[in-house]
Structures are given as C-alpha cells and as structure tokens.
Amino acid sequence: MGYKKIKKDQLKTLFNELSKDCSLFVPSGSKGYVGFDPWDGNSADFTEWYRNTTIPPKALFFPPVEAMLRFRKGEAGYEIEELLPNGRPQIVFGVRPCDARALKITDTLFSDTYRDPYYLTRRENATIVGLACNEPCDTCFCTSLDISPGESQDVDLLCSDIGDELLMEAVSDKGEDLLSKMSGLSEASGEEESKAKQLGDSAKEKITRQIDTSGLLDKMRSSFENREYWEDVSRKCMSCGICTYVCPTCHCFDICDENNKKDGKRVRNWDSCKFPLFTRMPMENPRHEKWRRIRQRYHHKFEYFQMNFETIACTGCGRCIRECPVNVDVTEIIGGIQAL
C-alpha cells in the first residue's frame, strides 16, 4: 500500500468517525500541560502547535495510578475481583518516533518472563499512529539513539505533516487495517512523498544535541566506582523525581492498598528511583545517598537495561532536560562519563 493523504481540515471528521468504535487519544493541552487526552470532538489542531507531550504516551498503557484488584470482606471471607482494562480498542494519534520507540522498550520489560496483563492488554488493543517531527525541540537528541524524527518502524501508521495535508503510510498490519477503514483519504503523489522525506531530513539536521553511545557500556562500567563524579553531577538534584515521571521508558512502580480492610483496592502507582524511600528496608537503605540514586538511574538506562534487554532505555526525547527544575542534563552526564 502506498502513501495516502488527508487534508488537515478533515481531521475532525476523521477523528469523529474513528472514535465511534474505539477510544481515540490525541495530544491536548486541556489539563494545563500537554498530554494524550480522549478525543473531545473538537480540537484537531494539535499538528499546528504541538512538538511533543509533557507526559509521554506510556501513561495510556501504564497509568500513573491504576487499580489492579478490589478486595471485599463478606460473611465467607475475602473475595478478590480482578480489575483488568476493558479491552476496548484504542487509537493513539500523534505519537512521536521517540515515544513509539519507548513503547517498544517498555514492551520488552512488561512481557519479560511474567506477562504484565494490565500494560499488555492495553498495548495489544492499541493502534499507534505516529506523527513525524518537522520541528524538533532544542532538547531532542533522538538521532543519537538510532531514532529518526522523520520516520519510524515502531508505529502502526506514520503521518507526516506536509503543510495543509497529512501524509499517511502504514507500517504494520494493524496500521494497514486502520488505513483501509479511514474515509476521506486520497492517494499521495510522488512529489508529496519526497516532500515528507525532505522535511524528515531537515528535522534530522536541526537536531544538534547528542550523546556518544560508542563504547558506552564499558565507560559506564568504569564510571561506576567513580564516586566523586556521581557526587558532583548529583549535587544540584532535588530528588523531585520529575525526570522519571516524564521519562517515556521509566517504569518503576509501587503497589499499595487503598481504603480499608473490608472493601478496598490494590493500586499500582508510578514510583521513582530518585526517592530515598524507594529502596528503604527496615534496617537499611542501600541507596540512601542521593549520588547512589542518580548513579542507579543512569546506569539502569545506559548499562543494566542494555545488558538485560539489548537496548538503551533512553530515546533522546529530552523531556528530563526540559522539565528538570535545576537543569540536570542527561547529555552532559553521559558526555561527562565519555570524557572520564
């Protein structure tokens, strides 16, 4: 199947149609920050203003807070009710290539050895419609991690913004299927295809920030014992955890019970390795010092995850750089390690 296209002023109609049979999520600023929100029937203009969301699409599959089960105590003791996602098909429209890669990365973790039914049920029911980047942020460095702003094999369907129209190309069978169900599309010309490619190339050139991943495993390894380095780079960190919150691959969580013993829910919440309580045990805390927690985070992303799953758990989305209140910059930290 070749490239299709749709006029941007037809998106609203398309979204209304798509949202009849499934849950459709699009970038929106309605909460005061940019995130993926359910389609509200109205705001299809995100292609005009949005570069990337503040909260990554992981939140749709691994919500910040989710009830896993309900327990109730009756005459016959406890009854457990499983609270799995409902399995309704979802379409997520406008996912950037970095975030699509991030989902593939968290897929490996949540399907490794033990299936995580909450995350995977949502993932299996989702179709990811990507949106290539024409204007990367100055914090972006995806190209250092084998990601291209203009293309993606990690989505089901990829859109490119060529001006008044969006070009669409199916990447997976799911994407092909979705494309065949969309009305209001027309065939794209070879010229338009080339334009999309040019825009992708030019976006690539606009990305100047980078990290050097060559030999990084060994460098990470040898930096481990360099306490001075880790103390130095962690000095200004406030342990607020926003870097882990907005990170598209951070997946650490806590499980706790809510309400009372008679009727309550077991809930999973995002947690963060930046918090001192994260690893606290009654008698000791292996990461009570901040520099140990910072070291854990970067070693996890750039070393341990790579050793265990053959990929670095960073996609260069730059959110942690943008959102950090004290300007901790992952590219500086990795650069510093490479320079040690």
CA atoms of 122 and 68, how far apart (whole Å): 13
CB of 93 to another protein, least distance (A): 28
- Radius of gyration in angstroms for the set of CA atoms belonging to the chain, rounded to a whole number: 22
Q: Kindly tell me which residue out of 59, 69, 137, 185 binds another protein, with binding defined by CB under 8 A.
A: 69
> Which of 54, 107, 253, 276 touches another protein by CB under 8 A?
253
**By CB under 8 A, residue 110 contacts another protein:** yes
Which of 31, 88, 181, 221 binds another protein (CB under 8 A)? It is: 221
Stretch of 30-38, 147-155, 234-242, 278-286 contacting another protein, by CB under 8 A = 278-286
Q: Which stretch binds another protein (CB under 8 A): 42-50, 72-80, 152-160, 182-190?
A: 72-80
Q: With binding defined as CB under 8 A, does residue 177 bind another protein?
A: no
With binding defined as CB under 8 A, does residue 67 bind another protein?
no
Q: Please identify which residue in 255, 325, 332, 335 interacts with another protein, judged by CB under 8 A.
A: 255
300 belongs to the binding site for another protein (CB under 8 A) = yes
Using the rule CB under 8 A, is 278 a contact of another protein?
yes
First to last CA, the chain: 50
Q: Which is nearer to another protein, 41 or 286 (CB)?
A: 286
Q: How far is CA 87 from the centre of its chain?
A: 20
Binding to another protein by residue 218, rule CB under 8 A?
Answer: no
* Nearest CB to another protein, comparing residues 111 and 180: 111
Least Å distance, CB 142 to another protein, is 23
What is the smallest separation between the CB atom of 273 and another protein, expressed in angstroms? 6
CB atoms within 10 A of CB 25: 23
**Of 31, 88, 115, 227, the one binding another protein by CB under 8 A:** 115
Judged by beta carbon, residue 20 or residue 261, the one nearer another protein is 261
Contact 299, 313 (CB under 8 A): no
Distance in Å, CB of 292 to another protein, minimum: 7
Nearer Cβ to another protein, position 31 or 221?
Answer: 221
Q: Which of these segments, 17-25, 91-99, 175-183, 281-289, binds another protein (CB under 8 A)?
A: 281-289
Shortest distance (Å) from residue 313 CB to another protein: 11
Which one of residues 279, 322, 329, 336 is an interface residue with another protein (CB under 8 A)? 279
- The reply on whether position 151 binds another protein by CB under 8 A is no
Helix (H), strand (E), coil (C) string for the chain: CCCEEEEHHHHHHHHHHHCCCCEEEEEECCCCCCEEEECCCCCCCHHHHCCCCCCCCHHHHCCCEEEEEEEEEECCEEEEEECCCCCCCEEEEEECHHHHHHHHHHHHHHHCCCCCHHHHHHHHCEEEEEECCCCCCCCCCHHHHCCCCCCCCCCCEEEEECCCEEEEEECCHHHHHHHHHCCCCEECCHHHHHHHHHHHHHHHHHCCCCCCCCCHHHHHHHHCCCHHHHHHHHCCCCCCCHHHHHCCCCCCEEEEEEECCCEEEEEEEECCCCCHHHHCCCCCCCCCCHHHHHHHHHHHHHHHHHHHHCCCCCCCCCHHHHHCCCCCCHHHHHHHHHHC
Closest CB 243 distance from another protein, rounded Å? 14
Contact partners, residue 185, CB within 8 Å, separation at least 6: 4, 5, 6, 168, 179
The contact set with another protein (CB under 8 A) reads: 68-69, 71, 73, 77-78, 80, 82, 84, 109-110, 112-118, 221, 224, 251-257, 259-262, 264, 266, 271, 273, 278-284, 286-287, 292, 296, 299-300, 303-304, 307-308
